[in-house]
């Protein structure tokens, strides 16, 4: 018997950006991947049969049902600069309304640990977001900006984001990832405005672009 697909308003795509490969696994640029990992842990729960992702549209994906919603978690495997290839393909394949998609990514313009949900806008130099904007043909999709802080003056941002977290950052990271996962699930269950009001901007003084 063919299963009935969920209503468009009940299907969500939560995508985290990063680079595939062991050498990038614990770097600042991969904090989007780490959020997806934390979300998958939350949604798998005690059902370990759902613990293995599958490859689809050049992404690792999990496909969950959560409180009446279908939730697709995705980690593009195309490297950061081409993230739009996988994200746009998944959004179109599953016919996901853009307002039901959120993209988690690192942001050097926010202090480490700061979360900032926003409904859309430019890429602010984040090349994964720029790729998604290009592939979708719009910048009107929600994203979850995750602050990793600015590099010291002596260090280039391109090198800084590919470094592993410092020891003090590693100590704080579990709490940050838990909060980001909770923000994403609040987005799914209660909408963007509720998630923004609840989770935005601790320590955030950055102007919107």
Q: Which residues are catalytic?
A: 29
Tokens of 41: 């842990």
User: How far is Cα of residue 11 from the mean position of the Cα atoms in its chain?
Assistant: 16
Least Cα distance to 197 among 188, 189, 187, 206 occurs for 187
Q: What is the dihedral of CA 85, 108, 113, 86, to 10 degrees?
A: 0
3-state secondary structure at position 77:
coil
Distance CA 75, CA 13 (A): 11
Q: Whole-angstrom Cα distance, residue 58 to residue 87? A: 9
Contacts of 100 (CB under 8 A, 6+ apart): 8, 9, 11, 12, 13
Considering only CA atoms, which of 194, 175, 167, 169 is closest in space to residue 183? Answer: 194
User: Looking at the DSSP assignment, which residues form a beta bridge with residue 115?
Assistant: 146
Using an 8 Å Cβ cutoff, are 136 and 98 in contact? yes
């Amino acid at each position: 018997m063919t299963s009935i697909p969920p209503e468009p308003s009940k299907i969500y795509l939560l995508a985290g950006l990063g680079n595939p490969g062991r050498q990038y696994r614990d770097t600042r640029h991969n904090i989007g991947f780490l959020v997806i990992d934390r979300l998958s842990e939350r949604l798998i729960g005690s059902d370990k049969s759902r613990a293995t992702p599958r490859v689809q549209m050049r992404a690792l994906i999990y496909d969950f049902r959560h409180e009446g919603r279908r939730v697709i978690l995705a980690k593009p495997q195309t490297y950061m600069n081409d993230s739009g290839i996988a994200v746009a393909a998944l959004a179109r394949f599953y016919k996901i309304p853009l307002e039901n998609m959120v993209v988690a990514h690192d942001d050097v313009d926010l202090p480490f640990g700061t979360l900032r949900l926003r409904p859309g806008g430019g890429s602010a130099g984040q090349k994964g977001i720029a790729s998604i904007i290009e592939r979708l043909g719009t910048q009107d999709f929600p994203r979850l900006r995750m602050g990793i802080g600015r590099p010291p003056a002596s260090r280039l941002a391109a090198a800084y984001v590919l470094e592993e977290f410092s020891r003090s950052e590693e100590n704080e990271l579990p709490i940050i990832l838990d909060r980001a996962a909770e923000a994403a699930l609040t987005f799914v269950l209660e909408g963007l405005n509720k998630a923004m009001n609840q989770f935005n901007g601790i320590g955030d003084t950055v102007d919107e672009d």
